[in-house]
Structure 1
Amino acid sequence: MRANKRQLVVDKATELFSKHGFQAVGVDWIIDDSGVARMTLYRHFSGKDDLIREVLLQRYALIVGSIEARLQELQIPEERVKAIFDWYGDWFATPEFAGCLFERALAEFGTEYPTISGVAIQYREKMTSWMAELLEELMPASDAQHLGDVFMMLLDGATVNARAANAPTPALQAWAAAEVLLRSKV
């Protein structure tokens, strides 16, 4: 039961942080909405920062696992890169989509607070290097790395636009731009 309450706190915190931001959501709000006792939260987490880190770590594992599952089904490098953009489009279409927690963590905490920003930076590095690795099958490594960085910027912009427009179409627009860039390199 203890692990279930821990996960209940993480799930509720994830929902609240996604909708309202890290700074706006206090521990009391998480406790009230999750229905756990204050002692329960502090039994599992040393404080709000520890909880935020766990939320980000779980989100990282969820996203990476989900994208890995998609990539396993595909063999053609270009299709595998497109699958990442498609994953974002599917995410944008979910009712719970409220922007990227990693971007929000960097915006609210900056890079000077590695306990939290470190996970966000790890996510960005993972996505960028993942795309670069896939692109290396199509072009020289230096071009692949450069394009991986640009593709991540396209996905960042698509994420912001999807939240502003409340629509999944920015992922398609980002892929259209990425495809033009990809064609110019291969």
Structure 2
Amino acid sequence: MSMIDTHPAVQRTPWGTGTPPDSVAPAKRRILETAIRLFYNDGIRSVGIDRLISESSVTKATFYKHYGSKDRLIVQYISQRHSLAQGIVDEIIRQHSDPRAALRGLIDQIVADVMSPGFRGCAFINAATEFTDPRHAVRQIVSEHREWYAETLSTLLNQLGHPLPGDGGDELVLARDGVMTGGYAGDPIAATTAFVRVADRVMDRSIR
């Protein structure tokens, strides 16, 4: 198996949050959007280059021109998922000046994701299960994503007056892991209901 290039330049999407903008070459944009759909729905390793090329409606030469290898596309995929998550979280926080309301908005977003059609679990947990080496570029991005998310939650809990915001942030991240996994593998209604109970208990320990 070829290793993904771990140089920082290929670990970050050049497009920022969301999907690639219109300024990106249409074929390059189409390849990444196809990868986002196929890698999430069917698994990263199970999707071959020929399928990516076919469903992106590009030639093999075009694929290699823009990405060079499937490995580089995988890194762009997981980076793009991180950027998209950051954009969603930042927008929810921006819409709520009160930290409790912002946390509630994030919880509601997680519940909505789990209950949405086509939900296949957490893209980052799914990717981590496919790349077992913690030094791998994919695992590094997954770790950074989780650290960012826990820090974001801890910051909001600190603003809310939680006595142990770091611990609370970790608890919410683990609760999110549970609802993402349980919501996909089991009953999403039971999973989201339990998740909200846990989140409420964490926030209720705050002093304001």
Number of matched pairs: 185
Select 2:195's aligned residue among 159, 169, 174: 174
For 1:130, the equivalent position in structure 2 comes to 152
Report the Cα offset of residue 46 of structure 1: 2.1
Name structure 1 gaps, 5 residues minimum.
none
For 1:110, the equivalent position in structure 2 comes to 132
Task: Name the stretch that deviates more: 32-41 or 88-97.
Answer: 88-97
Q: Could you tell me the TM-score, scaled by structure 2's length?
A: 0.81
Q: Check 1:146–1:94 CA distance in 2 against 1; reply closer, same or farther (3 A cut).
A: same
For residues 185 and 2 of structure 1, what CA distance do their matches in structure 2 show? 45
Q: Check 1:116–1:11 CA distance in 2 against 1; reply closer, same or farther (3 A cut).
A: same
Asked if the contact 1:155/1:171 (under 8 Å) is kept, the reply is no
- What's the C-alpha RMSD, in Å, of the aligned pairs? 2.0
Equivalence map 1:84-103=2 (5 Å)? 84-103=106-125
For 1:9, the equivalent position in structure 2 comes to 31
**SS of equivalent to 2:25:** helix
Select 2:69's aligned residue among 36, 47, 71: 47
Q: Check 1:36–1:169 CA distance in 2 against 1; reply closer, same or farther (3 A cut).
A: farther
Q: Check 1:179–1:2 CA distance in 2 against 1; reply closer, same or farther (3 A cut).
A: closer
Select 2:184's aligned residue among 163, 167, 176: 163
Letter in 2 for 1:144: P
Report the Cα offset of residue 73 of structure 1: 1.3
Asked if the contact 1:13/1:30 (under 8 Å) is kept, the reply is yes
Name structure 2 gaps, 5 residues minimum.
1-22
Q: Check 1:2–1:39 CA distance in 2 against 1; reply closer, same or farther (3 A cut).
A: farther
Report the Cα offset of residue 111 of structure 1: 4.2
The one-character-per-residue Cα deviations of 1:148-169 (angstroms, maximum 9, x if unpaired) are: 0110000011111221247466
For residues 16 and 113 of structure 1, what CA distance do their matches in structure 2 show? 24
Task: Name the stretch that deviates more: 11-20 or 77-86.
Answer: 77-86
Q: Could you tell me the TM-score, scaled by structure 1's length?
A: 0.89
Letter in 1 for 2:65: R
For 2:79, the equivalent position in structure 1 comes to 57
Letter in 1 for 2:127: A
The one-character-per-residue Cα deviations of 1:63-107 (angstroms, maximum 9, x if unpaired) are: 111121111111222221121111112222333422222111111
For residues 2 and 137 of structure 1, what CA distance do their matches in structure 2 show? 39
For 2:103, the equivalent position in structure 1 comes to 81
For residues 79 and 10 of structure 1, what CA distance do their matches in structure 2 show? 34
The one-character-per-residue Cα deviations of 1:109-168 (angstroms, maximum 9, x if unpaired) are: 024343211111111111100000001113367x10011011000001111122124746
Percent identity over the alignment is 23
For residues 182 and 112 of structure 1, what CA distance do their matches in structure 2 show? 32
Q: If each structure's helix is expressed as a fraction of its own residues, which one has the higher value?
A: 1
